[in-house]
Amino acid sequence: MNVLLIYPHCPDTFWNFAHILRFVGKNAAFPPLGLLTVAAMLPKEWTLRLIDLNARRLDDEELAWADVVFVSPMIVQEASARQVIDHAQRMGKTVVLGGPLVTTAAERFPEPDACVIGEAEDCIGDLVADLEAGTLQPVYRAEGRPDISRTPIPRWDLFDHLAYLVVAVQCSRGCSFDCEFCDITAIYGRVPRVKAPEQLVAELDAVLARGWRGSIVIVDDNFIGNRAKAKRVLRAIIDWRAARHARNTFIMEASINLVDDPELLSLMVEAGFKQFFIGIETPSEDGLKECRKVQNSNRDLAEAVRTIHRAGIEVMAGFIVGFDADRPEIFAAQKRFIQEAGVVTAMVGLLTALPGTRLFSRLSVEGRLIGQSTGNNLDATLNFEPVLDRGLLIDGYRALVKELYSPNRYYRRIQAFLRSYQPSMVAGRVTKSDLRAFVSSLRQLGVAQPGRRHYWRLIIGAILRGPQALSQAVELAIRGYHFRMIAEAI
C-alpha cells in the first residue's frame, strides 16, 4: 500500500520562525515528529512518503501515487488541513485524519474517510487491518493512555535533515499540572508517561545516524513532570554525549519549579541544555490563581528566570493577557516584568479557550463562548467575551507586542539577559548554518534594518565576552528580526 503522510502548512506565528529560515538556509523549523512516529507503526512492506507543506509543495503526481493519505494537523493548521483533505478527496483518495486537532474537536471534521482520536499506539493495528481489508471505519478511538515504552523510533529516513532548523524527539507525554487554559491534560492526561533512558538514547542514535549535528528539541510539554525519571534521562544523555562525542545541544519545555531542584538544573546544564520554554503567563498573582498556575504562585518569578540564566540556560517564556482578573494596568506590568527579567523571547498571546480545556467548559457554562479558537495568537481575536473591555484588551495586546519587539526594547532586553547569563562550559558545535547566519546578520541587521546601531553595540559587547556570548548574541539578534516581522503583522 502506498501511503502519503502530509503535514499541513502552519501560518506565520511566533514559533514557526519563518523569518529566520533565510538567514540559515533552511526550509522549515521543525520536522513533523508525530507523522514520523506514526510512520514507524505502519507495516514495513507499505511504501511511505512524507510531505511537509512547511518545507515543500505538494504535487498532484504524489497524490496520484497514493492509495491513502494521512493528515495530522494542530489547531493552527486547520485551514491548510481542510485544503489538503478537499484536494485529496477530489482526486479520489482515501483520507485518514489524526493529531491534536481532531482529538479535541472531531465533531468539526465529517469530511475525512476516517478520524483517529487520541494517541495512535492503541488503535493503529485496527486501522491498518481495516485499510488492508477495505473495511475502513469512520472513527478509531484510542481508549486510555498507551504505554509509550512501546512507541517505535520515528522513521527518520523519510525526512530531509538539511531542510530543518532543529530536530525533535519526545521523552514523555502528559503533565502533572492542570492549568485551566491548557489542553495538554485533555490530550495526554495528568500522569506523565516517560520513556526509558535507553529508549531515548536509541532515538538520539537514530537522529545522529541520519547525519543530524544541530540542536534537538525535546517536545514534552513538561520535561520534569516526573523529576526522578527526568534525572535518569538526563544522566543517560550526559553519557550519550560523552560516548558519541556528540555536541548536539538541547531545547525543552518545563515548569518553573525546576529552580527548586539544584541537582536537576545542574544535570540539565551538563547534558547540554541551552534553552528552556517556560509558561510564566502573568506577573499577576490574581491571574495565576484564576488559571490555577500553582507552580508559579507565591514565588519571585523574575529571580527564578535569572537563576536559570546564571546556570547558562536561556529562558524563553509564554505570557497571556485576557484573564478575568486582568485590569488595564496588566500591559504595563507584563512589559516591566519581561524587560527587567531579561526574557528575550517573550511570546505574548491573548487568552483563548481551546476545546477540551476547563476554561472552555467554564466559559461555555457562563455563556461567554463566541466561536472556535484559531490557535494562532497573531490574529488578535477572542473566542469568548472577556471581563476587560474587548477593544481595550486587543489594542493593549497589539501595543504590548509591538513595543516589546521594537529594536530599542528588544536589544535592551538582550543586554539584561547577558548581565545574568553565564555560559556553561558544555560547548555546542558551530555548524555551516551558524556561520551563514552570522554573515547574513552582519549584512541584514547590521546594515539594512532599523536598529542597526543597537545590533553593532550588541555584537561588539558579545565579542568582548567570548565566543559563546557572541554565538548567543547573533542568534538572539536574528530571532528578534523574526519577532519584529511578526509584531508588525499583528
pLDDT in tens, 260-270: 999 999 999 99
Grid coordinates given for 170: 519526545
Average pLDDT, the chain: 94
Phi first, then psi: what are they for 279, rounded to 5°?
-80, 95
pLDDT over 60 (residue 253): yes
Q: Phi and psi at residue 161, in whole multiples of 5°?
A: -70, -20
Q: Which residue has the higher pLDDT, 360 or 453?
A: 360
Q: Is the pTM of this model over 0.85?
A: yes
Rg of the Cα atoms in the chain: 22
**DSSP letter string, 302-319:** HHHHHHHHHTT-EEEEEE
Query: Would you say residue 419 has pLDDT above 80?
Result: yes
DSSP string, 52-86: ETTTSPPPHHHHHH-SEEEE---GGGHHHHHHHHH
Asked which of 93-97, 284-288, 435-439 is least confident by mean pLDDT, the reply is 435-439
User: In CATH, what number does 148-420 get?
Assistant: 3.20.20.70
Q: What is the domain partition of the chain in residue ranges?
A: 2-21+32-141, 148-420, 432-489
Q: What is the pLDDT of residues 71-129, one digit of tens each?
A: 999 999 999 999 999 999 999 999 999 999 999 888 889 899 999 999 999 999 999 99
Give the separation between CA 375 and CA 149, rounded to whole angstroms.
30
Burial readout 454-490 (b: 16 or more C-beta within 10 A, e: otherwise): bbeebbeebeeeeebbbbbbbbbbbbbbbbbebbeeb
Question: Above 90 in pLDDT, residue 319?
Answer: yes
What amino acid occupies position 151?
A: T
| Burial readout 388-424 (b: 16 or more C-beta within 10 A, e: otherwise) | beeeebbebbeebbeebbbbebbbebbebbbebbebb
User: 2-21+32-141 with 148-420: one CATH topology?
Assistant: no
State residue 452's pLDDT score: 86
Look at residue 311 in the predicted model and tell me its pLDDT. Answer: 96
Quick one: 2-21+32-141 is in which CATH superfamily? Cobalamin-binding domain (3.40.50.280)
Host H or E run for residue 117: strand 114-117
Element (DSSP H or E) covering residue 358 = helix 358-365
CA–CA gap between residue 102 and residue 95 (Å, rounded): 13
pLDDT above 90: residue 372: no
Separation between Cα atoms, residue 93 and residue 97, nearest integer Å: 13
Residue 87 is which amino acid?
H
Helices and strands (H and E) in the chain: how many: 19, 14
Angle, alpha carbons 78-81-86 (nearest 5°): 125
Whether the pLDDT of residue 445 is over 90: the answer is: no
